[in-house]
With several copies, the nearest count.
Chain A
Amino acid sequence: MTAVCCDTVAEAVAGIRDGSTVLIGGFGLAGMPVQLIDALIGQGATDLTVVSNNAGNGDTGLAALLAKGRVRKMICSFPRQSDSWVFDGLYRAGRIELEVVPQGNLAERMRAAGAGIGAFYCPTAVGTPLAEGKEIREIEGRTYVLEYPIKGDVALIGAHRSDRMGNLVYRKTARNFGPVMATAGELVIAQVSEIVETGELDPEAIVTPSIYVDRVVAA
């Protein structure tokens, strides 16, 4: 179904259920859908599994969601940062579960979810602790680890501009995880700087086609 343009971020995050797996875009702050995360804090859904590259910076956005005890589990590649004190505290207190996933696996596992791939043999992490307990196979002389898709009930992403149908373009390295998460989320919500009329975006330059986007909001 084509996307709905929402008037408010509260409307955009309506209906997210407790226990959901929420994919949250961004790499550091670039591409991070901060207003959507704030709206999710207000919306109230809890017991969430959050999939995001990092585990929050400072005290706002994802860190604030974590601080409110609303996240049961983080799936990310790089939780530990100079300003990840909220996550660090929760983790050391045993109050949050952590699955560390190599950044490329994080991206490719979400791509697989969006592309209908059941599982894939991946060269990353062979022989390391992150491959422990996983199925291994040698193919043409190289060793691979079997990796499974990561699907989201919801994806919250930040993009640059949307048209009224939900086609998205991004800006510079703020593109990062957004396009992949848009394919892997069941309910995809995009926060953009601007919603333009349909037809204003160059069809050759659209990165996330409207088919992947359920709701957009300018924020």
Chain B
Amino acid sequence: MSLDKHEMAALVARDIRPGSFVNLGIGQPTLVADHLPADAGIVLHTENGMLNMGPAATGALIDPDLINAGKVPVTELPGSAYFHHADSFAMMRGGHLDVCVLGAFQVSARGDLANWHTGEPDAIPAVGGAMDLAVGAKNVYVMMTLFAKDGTPKLVPDCTYPLTGLGCVDRVYTDLATFVIAPEGVVVRETYGITFAELGERLAVPLLRLDG
């Protein structure tokens, strides 16, 4: 069976080591937070200037001065810290985050990432912090469906959409399979509701099987 977005989020969460500092991108990646064990001491970063962000705020806990990068009201956990934007992005770009989880339009076999612009000529460009996260985090995990709505693969030999970062993606979590972008190529770690052979037929990217 293919995975739904919650199952994908759970898989990503499973791969995050206790004590890690993590940035979860806007959209589906935020679901990963629901699957992080409460006792693992994993600290969430939001690029608008906070470490140890808590869950989304509801009701009386909503504070317009306390939002995440998606501008959703959130809460603070004990041990949280606030800092300004230059410090926050210095933290990201300086390689201090252990993991960031991002959505993507396309990931290439070499780990190039395209997630900020569809390339449509009339689209208004808007990049936010995506390029900074892509170059900065020690491990960049992408979470996406493996195929676009029109059936075209999103794991591709070369990105056709405008790039966000070069060779920056380490792992790709999709509804049908999880992949590791390794120096020797794209390694299939697990498949869901599809066989390795079927996967190879539907993707134009050479795939390696995980040994053992």
Contact = CB atoms under 8 A, between A and B. Distances in A.
The reply to whether A and B meet directly (CB within 8 Å) is yes
B127 A130 contact: yes
A31 to B, nearest CB: 8
B90 A108 contact: yes
A170 B52 CA distance: 18
Contacts of A175: 49, 82-84
A176 B88 CA distance: 9
B27 interface: no
Interface string B85-108: 110111111111110000000000
B142 interface: no
Contact of B45 (A78, A92, A98, A211): A211
A71 interface: no
Contact of A206 (B81, B162, B163): B81
Contacts of A115: 89-90, 93-94
Contacts of A111: 86, 90
A29 B73 CA distance: 11
A199 interface: yes
A183 interface: yes
Contacts, number: 210
A141 interface: no
Contact of A126 (B81, B85, B166): B166
A183 B135 contact: no
Contact of A30 (B48, B52, B76): B48
A103 B79 CA distance: 26
A21 interface: no
Interface size class of A (residues with CB under 8 A): 35 or more
A207 B128 CA distance: 24
Interface stretch (B60-68, B169-177, B178-186, B190-198): B60-68
A123 B46 CA distance: 20
Interface in B3-58: 17, 19-21, 41, 43, 45-52
Contact of A80 (B49, B92, B126, B162): B126
B178 to A, nearest CB: 23
A211 B67 CA distance: 20
B25 to A, nearest CB: 13
Contact of A176 (B17, B76, B85): B85
A126 B79 contact: no
Interface string A28-43: 1111000000000000
A103 B84 contact: no
Given A30-B48, A108-B86, A210-B43, A128 B79 contact: no
Given A103-B132, A116-B135, A123-B135, A79 B126 contact: yes
Nearest to A144: B135
B139 interface: no
A107 B154 CA distance: 31
A91 B83 CA distance: 32
A100 B131 CA distance: 12
Interface in A162-201: 163-165, 167, 170-180, 183, 198-199, 201
A133 interface: no
Given A102-B131, A172-B65, A210-B81, A110 B124 contact: no
A171 B66 CA distance: 8
B80 interface: yes
B200 interface: no
A148 interface: no
Contacts of B90: 108, 111, 114-116, 183
Interface in B126-141: 126-132, 135-136
Given A128-B166, A211-B91, 8 more contacts: A2-B21, A28-B67, A98-B125, A115-B89, A126-B166, A178-B84, A210-B51, A211-B21
8 contacts: A78-B127, A79-B125, A103-B129, A108-B93, A111-B90, A124-B93, A130-B131, A210-B52
Shortest Cβ-Cβ A-B pairs, 10 listed: A199-B78, A104-B89, A104-B132, A115-B90, A116-B93, A127-B166, A80-B126, A206-B81, A174-B65, A107-B85
